[in-house]
């Protein structure tokens, strides 16, 4: 047993005596399943896999991702990722930066959910320069476990969040997303704003290479978002401007 910068360090998760709430995994993709298996044996209820090299890189990566999904199911682990930036919660009771963003954003009432980690960092930089605060940011990557629908339902109940922003590269469960958004908007009055990638052929190709996503028909997305009461934005700036305006309303 040793320490890193004065903090107790362990070679294996199973060596830790106390209970653990959350595991953050940043190993090469080829061994992430071994780490997750140890987390399961340790009884850790939640894991965040930041590592890339899964379904976004092809068939071998998809198989590695399926292995993670199977382990998470077997041990009932709530899994975020893989291939993501991580998560940030600015609640003073928690003050958690489980991401590779350099620092916590200012606290606020806007929550940002993103399939892209790179977009999260861009949004953080943009918001920091303008003193825009967040309740939480979650980059969910390839959605092997937790999806945007799960996160939307969580944020509907979060008293610190007043506006929900969502960046998507694909819609895998359209009816589920519509139902969750419609219920959130109707029951809580919280607006849901979406920035959806893949409007052009080039955008769809970029989404596919980034998180292994199929973008889906843009016209269908437009119509579905309208039906559910989701506000669609064209750019990050539009989305954050609208969010700031909505948070400022009585």
- For residue 33, pLDDT over 80 is answered with yes
Q: Which of the residue ranges 82-91, 138-147, 206-215 would you say has the lowest mean pLDDT?
A: 206-215
pLDDT tens digits, residue range 86-99? 999 999 999 999 99
Average pLDDT over residues 129-133: 94
Average pLDDT over residues 9-14: 93
Predicted local distance difference test score (pLDDT) of residue 215:
45
Q: Max Cα separation, the chain?
A: 57
Angle at 178 between CA 173 and CA 180, to 5 degrees: 95
Q: What percent of the chain has pLDDT over 70?
A: 92
Q: Is the pTM of this model over 0.75?
A: yes
Average pLDDT over residues 242-247: 96
Name residue, tokens 């890339």.
52
Pairing of strands 96-99, 22-25: unpaired
């Amino acid at each position: 047993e040793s320490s890193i910068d004065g903090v107790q360090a362990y070679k294996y998760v199973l060596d830790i005596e106390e209970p653990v709430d959350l595991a953050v995994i940043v190993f090469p993709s080829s061994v992430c399943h071994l780490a997750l298996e140890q987390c399961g044996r340790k009884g850790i209820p939640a894991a965040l896999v930041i590592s890339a090299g899964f379904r976004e890189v092809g068939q071998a990566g998809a198989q590695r991702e399926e292995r993670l999904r199977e382990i998470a199911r077997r041990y009932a682990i709530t899994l975020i990722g893989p291939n993501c930036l991580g998560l940030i919660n600015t609640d003073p009771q928690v003050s958690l930066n489980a991401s590779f963003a350099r620092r916590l954003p200012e606290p606020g009432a806007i929550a940002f959910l993103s399939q892209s980690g790179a977009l999260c960092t861009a949004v953080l930089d943009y918001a920091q320069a303008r003193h825009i605060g967040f309740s939480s940011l979650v980059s969910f990557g390839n959605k092997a476990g937790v999806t945007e629908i799960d996160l939307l339902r969580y944020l509907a109940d979060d008293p610190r969040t007043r506006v929900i922003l969502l960046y998507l590269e694909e819609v895998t469960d359209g009816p589920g997303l519509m139902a969750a958004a419609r219920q959130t908007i109707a029951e809580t009055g919280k607006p849901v704003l979406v920035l959806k990638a893949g409007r052009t052929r080039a955008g769809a190709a970029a989404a596919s290479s980034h998180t292994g996503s199929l973008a889906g028909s843009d016209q269908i997305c437009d119509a579905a978002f309208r039906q559910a009461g989701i506000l669609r934005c064209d750019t990050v700036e539009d989305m954050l401007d609208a969010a700031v305006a909505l948070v400022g309303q009585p």
